[in-house]
Copies of this chain bind each other. A is one copy, B any other.
Amino acid sequence: MIEPNFRHTINGQQVATAIAQDYQTNKILMVAFINKQAYHKSIETNYAHYYSTSRDKIWFKGEESGHTQQIKEVLLDCDSDAIIFKVKQNGGACHTGHYSCFYKKLSSNGQDIIEDDTDIVFNPDEVY
């Protein structure tokens, strides 16, 4: 099987960068790291798995919340140390209830954060 180059060392794990992107709108949903085991799980099951640097374990996205990511396409970059999962996102990608984790925009002077709350798709209190 074709594999990324897991050349970054984080918490002693060899990882690549993994981006989840909506397969229809191209909206970026989240970014995480992936190791060899999580990559194989993803390709075998067709659902995104990552390596959690904070919990130091394989992480099946949506295992608890049901907000899984069905993989439609896998892209690798030129030197293969980063991948894109183009996915069908069930529910929302973000634990805050947003569809995408990237809901914070820098103000033009760089001094403030403007939150986009138009993409809230669930109430975290009801899910976690």
Asked if A120 CB lies within 8 Å of chain B CBs, one says no
Q: Are A28 and B113 in contact (CB under 8 A)?
A: no
Contact with B along A1-42 (1 / 0, CB 8 A): 110000011100000010101000111101100000000000
Q: Are A106 and B2 in contact (CB under 8 A)?
A: yes
Given contacts A17-B17, A25-B26, contact A111 B78 (CB under 8 A): no
- Interchain nearest-CB distance for A111 vs B (Å): 6
Q: What number of A residues sit within 8 Å (CB to CB) of B?
A: 40
Contact of A105 (CB < 8 Å), options: B9, B73, B94, B95: B73
Q: Are B105 and A75 in contact (CB under 8 A)?
A: yes
Given contacts A27-B26, A31-B17, A31-B31, contact A113 B76 (CB under 8 A): yes
Q: Which 8 A-B pairs have the closest CB atoms?
A: A26-B26, A74-B106, A77-B101, A75-B102, A76-B104, A31-B82, A1-B110, A78-B101
Residues of A near any B CB (own CB < 8 A): 1-2, 8-10, 17, 19, 21, 25-28, 30-31, 43, 53, 73-78, 80, 82, 84, 94-96, 98, 101-107, 110-113
